[in-house]
Amino acid sequence: QAHLDRIAAVDGDVHAYLHVNDAALAEASAIDAKRAAGERLPELAGVPVAIKDVLCTIGMPSTAGSRMLEGWVPPYDATVVERMKAAGLIALGKTNMDEFAMGSSTEHSAFGPTRNPWNLERIPGGSGGGSAAAVAAFEAPFALGSDTGGSIRQPAAVTGSVGVKPTYGGVSRYGAIALASSLDQVGPVSRTVLDSALLHDVVGGHDPKDSTSLTGAWPSFAEAARAGRRDGSLKGLRVGVVKQIADGEGFQAGVTQRFRESLELLADAGAEIVEVSAPNFEYAVAAYYLILPAEASSNLAKFDSVRFGLRVTPEGGGTVEQVMAATREAGLGDEVKRRIILGTYALSAGYYDAYYGSAQKVRTLIQQDFSAAFAQADVLVSPAAPTTAFKLGEKLDDPLAMYLNDITTIPANLAGVPGIGLPMGLAPEDGLPVGIQFMAPAREDARLYTVGAALE
Ligand code: GLN
């Protein structure tokens, strides 16, 4: 009830939600009744969760921020949603996002932007700005997001929240409307490191329905976070500062200042700070913006006016192709069209090797950079985003400026390694939240929870 009241009070301004689950209270009461009857329930039973609208939910619309899917109600739950419900967690509603998760500001949502609760003139990050804003505005205790190039970590950073992109394959993608399948990961957003760990424990682990899901057991992330909280010492931990994404051009002065102070905090806690070089990170954004559109153009081909959602028939009727074209013209926004055009171009005969092939080679080089860096350090560190939340409209007409904002987060997706973003104070020049990011080798997500919780 407290969260529903909060949504009623502030969401008119923040617009974090696209849909609120009107059965949430009844579902919570049912949990209460079970508990009153002495039934033993999982730890988080009854706690509400906000769900990014890219995740399929039975009985609730799932639009991925697109007109193309307006009003579409999936016939099944995403695996993460199914697991969350099985643990007694309550779906509070669906959160706003850039259309099909393309963007860094949530301004590309077909249903209007979300605003940053810290300052309503500022963006909440993207693509999962709704999930992060809901958490930051106390409209949800935690939320699920998806991170293809930073869409969990960057919104967390600019709203003063915690966000985790798990190891690729660590959390099921089944039922997550695909953007770029080799990069997408579902993960938690919360106000504390432990809360993210708790949610990750519930939704993570092998899923036979996702062909890229990792097999084998995972440690308890909550335990890892609790260990970090208890101990607080980082003695013996080697923290690698990645030169290429630590500071320099495009990094706001206040972000750099807070980042340097954080390094001192880490050293005070006993960590050894080492500088590492990842020379190919410089090309990460360029490679990503070829690989992502290529995969997205293929994934989005299913929105053909027949199988899902919108169908627009030209006046007087039309051929299958004309209906398809009219539907995609009306149903997809400019950013989505831009990326489909980029992607189909990069994949076309004669250009495939030059663009897509080269980008894949750069991706391998970036993976090698990570391997070399992890030989020198247990975790890598950088600012979670190069700037604090920018003003609504500021980068909307400049896609390149918007893309460059992803420099700190994209490398982890290209290599499939886990990353956590957490708050590191406010920037002196604008009083807005600044985030720090840690990355660990694949499958070492637990390390991030321990380090994050120790620093918190
Ligand atoms: N900002 C990035 C993009 O626009 C990240 C998207 C994401 O992680 N879904 O592609």
- The answer, yes or no, to whether any atom of ligand 1 lies below 6 A from the CB of 406, is yes
**What is the per-residue pLDDT across 394-416, written as a single tens digit (0 to 9) for each?**
999 998 888 999 999 999 999 99
Alpha carbon distance 275, 242 (integer Å): 6
Relative orientation angle of helices 445-455 and 253-268, to the nearest 10 degrees: 90
Q: Say yes or no: CB of residue 149 within 6 Å of ligand 1.
A: yes
Percent residues over pLDDT 70 in the chain: 100
Tokens 């954080």 identify what position? 262
103 lines ligand 1 (CB under 6 A): yes
Q: Is the CB of 150 under 6 A from ligand 1?
A: yes
CA R_g for the chain = 21
Among all chains, which residue has been given the structure tokens 């050293």?
267
Ligand 1 neighbourhood includes 172 CB (under 6 angstroms): no
Q: What is the pLDDT of residue 363?
A: 98
Kindly list the structural domains of the chain, giving each domain's residue range(s) and its CATH number in brackets, ordered by start: 2-283+359-455 (3.90.1300.10)
Distance CA 292, CA 406 (A): 13
User: Atom 5, ligand 1: which residue's CA is nearest?
Assistant: 149
CA distances from 350 to 62, 132, 344, 359 (A): 37, 42, 12, 15
Give the model's confidence band at 85: pLDDT under 50 very low, under 70 low, under 90 confident, else very high. very high
The two three-digit tokens of residue 149, written as one number: 């190039």
Please tell me the distance between residue 339's alpha carbon and the centre of ligand 1 in angstroms. Answer: 12
With a CB cutoff of 8 Å and minimum separation 6, the contacts of 120 are 13, 14
DSSP-assigned letters across all residues of 74-99: -SS--HHHHHHHHTT-EEEEEE--SG
Please identify, by atom number, the ligand 1 atom nearest to the C-alpha of residue 128: 9
State how far the Cα of 301 lies from the Cα of 276, in Å rounded to an integer.
41
Cis omega (within 30 of 0) on the bond before 211? no
Give residue 185's Cα distance to chain centre.
Answer: 8
**Contacting residues for 224 by C-beta, under 8 A, at least 6 apart:** 197, 446, 447, 449, 450, 453
pLDDT of residue 192: 98
E-only strand ranges, 6-141: 17-20, 48-52, 90-95
Residue count of the chain, please give it: 456
- The reply to whether 182 belongs to the active site is no
- Residues 198-217: tens digit of each pLDDT: 999 999 999 999 999 999 99
CB atoms within 10 A of CB 431: 11
* Predicted-assembly ipTM surpassing the 0.90 threshold: yes
Can you tell me the distance from the alpha carbon of 36 to that of 40, in angstroms, rounded to the nearest whole number? Answer: 10
Determine which one of 62, 66, 105, 127 is catalytic: 127
State the distance from the centre of ligand 1 to the C-alpha of 70, rounded, in angstroms.
Answer: 21
Q: What is the pLDDT of residues 174-192, one digit of tens each?
A: 999 999 999 999 999 999 9
Q: Calculate how far, in angstroms, residue 180's C-alpha sits from the geometric centre of ligand 1.
A: 10
Q: Strand locations in 174-323, DSSP E?
A: 185-190, 238-242, 272-276
Query: What is the pLDDT, as a whole number, of residue 249?
Result: 86
Distance 406 CA to ligand 1 centre (A): 8
Report how far residue 59's alpha carbon sits from residue 75's, in angstroms, rounded to the nearest whole number: 8
Distance CA 210, CA 436 (A): 30
Q: What is the pLDDT of residues 25-70, one digit of tens each?
A: 999 999 999 999 999 999 999 999 999 999 999 999 999 999 999 9
Q: Quickly list H helices, 115-232.
A: 129-136, 153-158, 193-203, 221-231
Cβ contact 79:209 at 8 Å:
yes
pTM, 2 dp: 0.97
Question: What pLDDT, on the 0 to 100 scale, is given for residue 231?
Answer: 86
Please say if the pLDDT value at position 232 is more than 90: no
Residue with tokens 């101990």: 231
